[in-house]
Chains A and B, each alone.
Chain A
Amino acid sequence: KAGVTQTPRYLIKTRGQQVTLSCSPISGHRSVSWYQQTPGQGLQFLFEYFSETQRNKGNFPGRFSGRQFSNSRSEMNVSTLELGDSALYLCASSYASGSYEQYFGPGTRLTVT
């Protein structure tokens, strides 16, 4: 069974721009969670989507948003990029909403200049 895939793997953007990251979950998994990883803050939960609905959200500003499609693929969007948004963004899939057994993709490395 194929794992979680994330595209693109690397991205360089300029302050003020916006960016969209994509995640395809493991086949049969319907929940997708997003995490931000930075050297200073570590791994932090952004949000979870299940059945095209946001089910859970972490403590991030409204510039961070996401959505999920009917095939369970998910995108996250960051608007008005700031230097501090430079991070590894990890997507995790699980079978059901609220499941802690999550399987992670390789991440998208975002650099904001």
Chain B
Amino acid sequence: AQSVTQPDIHITVSEGASLELRCNYSYGATPYLFWYVQSPGQGLQLLLKYFSGDTLVQGIKGFEAEFKRSQSSFNLRKPSVHWSDAAEYFCAVGGNYGGSQGNLIFGKGTKLSVKP
């Protein structure tokens, strides 16, 4: 079955420090991979996506992610974190439920706190 694992429930980093959020997926075929961010009381905002091609993907707000097929990973990175990045981050894989495509399978999320 398809699944997404985000091993870190909560991460705290200092403002200006680098960030890496981990994501591992389980999917038989070539995966479609996504990172979303959710601020408190808000919906999900798409940060970046990987469908094919270059394994290093650039997204909005200075985020990037690298697809590593050998490790079944799609880690999210940012070189310098800003206080406004504090939010919850979700990794997702494009699923295939009941033979139909189109549903997203999400990890449990990683909550990011930023220290001043």
Contacts and interface: CB of A to CB of B under 8 A. Distances in A.
Contacts of B92: 43
A100 B41 CA distance: 23
Contact of A100 (B34, B42, B98, B109): B34
Contact of B42 (A56, A57, A94, A106): A106
Nearest to B6: A42
A113 to B, nearest CB: 20
B95 A45 contact: yes
Contact of B32 (A35, A100, A103): A100
Contacts, number: 70
B102 A56 contact: yes
Nearest to B34: A100
A59 B36 CA distance: 23
Contact of B100 (A42, A56, A103, A104): A56
Contacts of B43: 4, 6, 90, 104-107
**A interface, over-half SS:** strand
A58 B36 CA distance: 20
Interface residues of B, number: 26
A46 B98 CA distance: 13
Given A42-B109, A45-B97, A99 B44 contact: no
Query: Which of the listed residues A33, A45, A56, A100 has the most CB atoms from chain B within 10 Å of its own CB?
Result: A100
Give the one of A94, A98, A102, A107 with max B CB within 10 A: A102
A42 B111 CA distance: 13
Nearest to A31: B102
A48 interface: yes
B17 interface: no
A100 B100 contact: no
Given A45-B103, A45-B104, A106-B43, 11 more contacts: A33-B102, A45-B97, A45-B105, A56-B98, A57-B98, A58-B97, A100-B32, A100-B104, A101-B46, A106-B42, A107-B42
The 4 closest A-B pairs by CB, nearest first: A100-B94, A43-B106, A45-B103, A56-B100
Interface of B: 32, 34, 36, 41-46, 49, 90, 92, 94-95, 97-98, 100-109
